[in-house]
Chain A
Amino acid sequence: MLVFGLAIIALALGMGFVLYTQGSVPIRGQGFFGFLFETTWNPVSGVHGAWPFLLGTIITSAAALALAFFPAVGVGIFAAEYAPPKIGSVINYLVDLLAAVPSVVIGIWGIFVFAPWMRDTFYIPVYYWAVESAPALLPVLGAPASYNIITATLLLALMITPYTVGLTRDAIKLVPREQRDAAWALGATHWEVMRLGILPYARGGIVAGAILSLARALGETMVIAMLIGNSNRLPFTFFGPASTMPSVIANEFREAVETMHLASLMAVGFYLFLLTFVVNLIAAYIQRKLNIGGRVL
């Protein structure tokens, strides 16, 4: 058993080690931070820097979490505490189903239905409005492409929602009955029971869940690769294409023939590893701190 346990350690640390050795040439050549903060990515001229992708990853993930967080916590609360048990379990079922939908399936819907619809009903009207009445906004908005940061972020938010909902649900489930009963007995309204009795107790679990969802968003590949438009050029604009660390690996790795290009993509993978590793460790730390009722979450 010990041997198989060690397989977990081997996979986790081996992944970091292998990615580092595979990407060590550009990382050592430009320095750890030199590669990270290099703003140009141009395989043709042989200049490789991770900054555009780091920026793209952080922008899309943070925005997706910001969009998904409150609705997701709302669904978790509603399903666990407000809805009648039957409806609650149907909602939970649908949310789990959403988690099970493969990201390429959401991606194909995004490409053929969502992105064109968003372009016609939102990007183009807003763009023309800006041209006429707010030209100062134009450099920020950028020319409207159907595959852009907003499209990708909205679908990314949809994709991480079930994780946030699930972890919120688990956190609320751990709140002892007495907390609710005490609040009801004081004459609290339903919302006050939530606000005073349950949310403070579940707060840590909900925050840890949000951080875990952030880690999901950071690593989500296919939906982004299909919908963000894949541009390596800074600056990014709202309606313009961009790239993230996973999406550039997905898009360029198959076509990368030069050793340096391949090694640089591996190096981007190494930074992605470090980023998600740290974010997950933070979430694990918060969860370990919450040793509620003798059960480690």
Chain B
Amino acid sequence: MTVRARYIRDGVMRSLLIASTLFIVVPLLIIISYVLINGIGALNWNFFTVELGSPARAMQGRPTGLAHSIVGTVIIDLMALAFAAPVGIAAGIMLSEYPDNPINPPLRVLSSTLNGMPAILMGLLAFALVVRPFGGFSAVSGSVALAFVMFPIIARSVESVLRTTPWSLREVGLALGLPRWRVIISTVLPAAKTGILTGVLIAFARAAGEAAPLLFTSFGQNYMNLDPGRAMDTLPQRLYSLAISPYREWHAMGWAAAIVLLVFVMTCFFVARLVAGRFGTRADG
């Protein structure tokens, strides 16, 4: 090949790479701008303060909103976090700090496998384990399903954060004669705490956007409900119901739900990035 042909080829490949970058980035910007433009117009005070009610309410122009979905999302997501974070962090510690344990290699394989499992299966599992035995759709079952979604993500990111903390930290503790659990609690975890926080936030953000596991666990509601033993509404799932509903008024509310959900998830994402950036540890699931 002549030098000239090699340079031409180099240029062609460079433009192809630039083209593929635009190919990915442009649709993202288009989607975000559509959501912002359509969503802003549908947002108003009622959206945050009134419950949805029946479709007639929206069609007759009476005040309607998604206050119950926002409240429900916060309750269910926080409950899920409370279930998943301790177990996930502990599992991550197990994966990273006890590599000599005989169950560790299969554990690591299963951990990465779980990370790729469809979220809807977590919903089916929670349906079988919680909804069936307790005889009804409930907010608790929804948060169990979301906890199943968060758990492997947290375990994976805690594992990768702990692996980046230097071994000398552990050796210092062990040299003092501390047992391993004490070394983990007193030196490894404090050193890795911002990284762990980032991982937990990323898992939270990912789970907060999931609708699939909630469809048949927390089920959804048109009215305000604070009782975790009954069906409760969440934003992602409400967004889905609004978008596929036949009512024009509800479509507009769907866009408003999309902007709220997008802002919520992105805030988690930015805070996670900020925490990670400031303290120099990375924890991408």
Contacts and interface: CB of A to CB of B under 8 A. Distances in A.
Nearest to B93: A1
A206 B9 CA distance: 23
A106 B31 contact: yes
Contact of A7 (B18, B128, B151): B151
A166 B114 contact: no
Given A8-B110, A221-B119, A104 B148 contact: no
Contacts of B249: none
B2 interface: no
Nearest to B137: A254
Contact of A287 (B111, B112, B243): B112
Contact of A12 (B32, B114, B206, B284): B114
Interface stretch (A33-41, A48-56, A245-253): A245-253
A100 B17 contact: no
A121 interface: no
A78 interface: yes
A105 B239 contact: yes
A276 interface: yes
Nearest to A21: B128
Nearest to B251: A112
B79 interface: no
At the interface, is chain A mostly helix, strand, loop or mixed? helix
A100 B269 contact: yes
A249 B124 contact: yes
B34 interface: yes
A43 B262 CA distance: 36
Interface in B37-74: 38
A129 interface: no
Contacts of A218: 118
Contacts of B175: none
Interface residues of A, number: 84
Contacts of A12: 110, 113-114, 117
Contacts of A108: 35, 239, 243, 254-255, 258
Nearest to B12: A191
Given A7-B87, A105-B31, A226-B244, A277 B212 contact: no
B125 interface: yes
B246 interface: no
A97 B116 contact: no
Contacts of B112: 280, 283-284, 287
A276 B215 CA distance: 21
Interface string B97-138: 110010110110111111111111110110111000000000
B266 interface: yes
B164 to A, nearest CB: 11
B266 A1 contact: no
Nearest to A77: B17
Most buried by A among B93, B127, B251: B127
B226 interface: no
Contact of A95 (B24, B35, B111): B24
B176 interface: no
Interface of B: 6-7, 9-10, 13-14, 16-21, 23-25, 27-28, 31-32, 34-35, 38, 87, 90-91, 93-95, 97-98, 101, 103-104, 106-107, 109-122, 124-125, 127-129, 148, 151-152, 155, 181, 205-206, 208-212, 215-216, 219, 236-237, 239-240, 243-244, 251, 254-255, 258, 261-262, 265-266, 269, 273, 284
